[in-house]
Structure 1
Amino acid sequence: MNKNAIFLATSIACALPLSAHAIDINDELALVLEIQAFSDYRAGGVSMTRNNSALWLDSILVHKPSGAHAGLFTSNIDFGTQANREFAYYIGIARPLSENIVGSFTRIEFEYPNSSQFNFGEWIATLSAHGATIGVKYSDDMKPFNDRRTIAWVGYEHSLPHGMTLDARYGLTDMEHAIYVDNDGSSRSLYYDWEIGISKHQWGLDWRLAYIDTDLSKSECASGFGFDDNCSATLVGSIAKSF
């Protein structure tokens, strides 16, 4: 899911100067459009495209006075099934809770044409202040077993010289059942992921390079996601254009 577009929507709702990244429809409504190309689509540290490239398209309509927003996101994916595309429909609200703290709450529904057995929905809540973000995602219908899943993460962004930004993220994913099975027969329901990236806005584009990894072994990765190389360390490059 495109965290950049949600960040833009949050920023617009909080009246930050983002005219370069939004189309003002009128005094109350703004539209954010973003196209983003990735060398790999990673979610929770795990490849959604079997370590291949992805193209994200995202559109989000923001009601600036209230912070309410609704959007549509799509990307190519590869789960090793008939599904080759992911669609996400989301609605939420982002509001300043104090002078320095911004909160957001979002509901997202994911759909996978030709593999509807993977469709699911989740709730997302975040708090951001002084460049730091904490967030939680929760779903009670993760397929194929309708498991509960909780994701929690912390992130931080820091401005660097020459218009660059350093960002870092550390997260955990906890499933209801112990689906990650290692070679020795041990199993667990929780794993950790982390990433660190550097980005820069140049020539009208947003460029980013990130190192991403998880603590899942190859066997645990295969048992949880079907392939043993979807969870390994990697460098992911991306280029984005916002309108």
Structure 2
Amino acid sequence: MKKTLVNIALTSALIAGSLVASSAFAVEGLSANVGATSNYLWRGVTQTDDAAAISGGIDYAHESGFYAGTWASNVDFGDDASAELDFYLGFGGELGQGFGYDVGYIYYAYPDSAQTDSTNEYDFGEVYGSLSYSYFSVSANYGVNNDDGAEWADSALYISADAEIEVAEGLTLALHIGDYSFDDDYKSDDYSDYGVSLSKGGFTFAVSDTDMDNDDMKFTVSYSIDIDL
């Protein structure tokens, strides 16, 4: 469950294909993922100054529904930060009658963000939960335990709704809408993001936008693979 799935974020645009790796030393439940995208978008906002990104991660999933993993990507915010490293764990399963659920915690770390300015640390965490039925899902992420440089993330709430439909053999259409609201104390502007994508064979073409002023519609092309370890 890499970051792009934790947020069910179409705008992250790294919907994975699969690659089975045979090995005599395979570990049940352990997998890796590698991806590349023309623009790393998170909740509709570029994390790489509209440049390309390479990402990868390792995940462990147990048959009980417990999972844990880590995911990394390059970033560019115009400061010291050059990398993002996420850690997450959670529990998911079926509720019956076609309903599914997922709850967990994710921590977003930027190891070199305060390299020249000690006040520029902006690691933060979120608790999250989602409910799915058939092709549809709704999710909520709530900001917790942020560093001083990420005060905007404290008590911030991101709610999203998504749908994924196979429109042809191997071709998936995904629709997304999200709303990000912030605590008034931190003077961050609430906004909404939305998008659509088509995916096949590990490739994804996505279009996304936000309702923020002076924000243009963005087009991304991505490719990713999952590898059983």
Partner of 1:113: 111
Cα deviation, residue 128, structure 1 = 1.2
Give CA deviations for 1:114-151 in whole Å, capped at 9, x if unaligned.
Answer: 22511111011111111101000001345433632100
Q: 1:22 to 1:54 in 2, by over 3 A?
A: farther
1:211 to 192, 207, 213: 207
Partner of 2:173: 166
- Give the letter aligned to residue 118 of structure 1: Y
Query: What secondary structure is seen at the aligned counterpart in 2 of 1:144?
Result: helix
Which sections of structure 1, spanning at least 5 residues, go unmatched? 8-17, 181-188, 219-230
Partner of 2:223: 239
- TM-score, normalized by length of structure 2? 0.82
Partner of 1:179: 187
Cα deviation, residue 25, structure 1 = 4.6
- Give the letter aligned to residue 140 of structure 2: V
The structure, 1 or 2, with the larger RCO (C-alpha pairs under 8 Å, 6+ apart) is: 2
- TM-score, normalized by length of structure 1? 0.78
Cα deviation, residue 32, structure 1 = 1.9
Partner of 1:30: 29
Percent identity, please.
Answer: 23
Report if aligned partners of 2:123, 2:150 keep a CA contact under 8 Å in 1. Answer: no
- Give the letter aligned to residue 101 of structure 1: F
Report if aligned partners of 1:109, 1:120 keep a CA contact under 8 Å in 2. Answer: yes
| Mapping for residues 85-234 of structure 1, pairs under 5 Å | 85-115=83-113, 117-142=121-146, 143-145=149-151, 147-177=154-184, 179-180=187-188, 189-201=189-201, 206-218=202-214, 231-234=215-218
Cα deviation, residue 179, structure 1 = 3.0
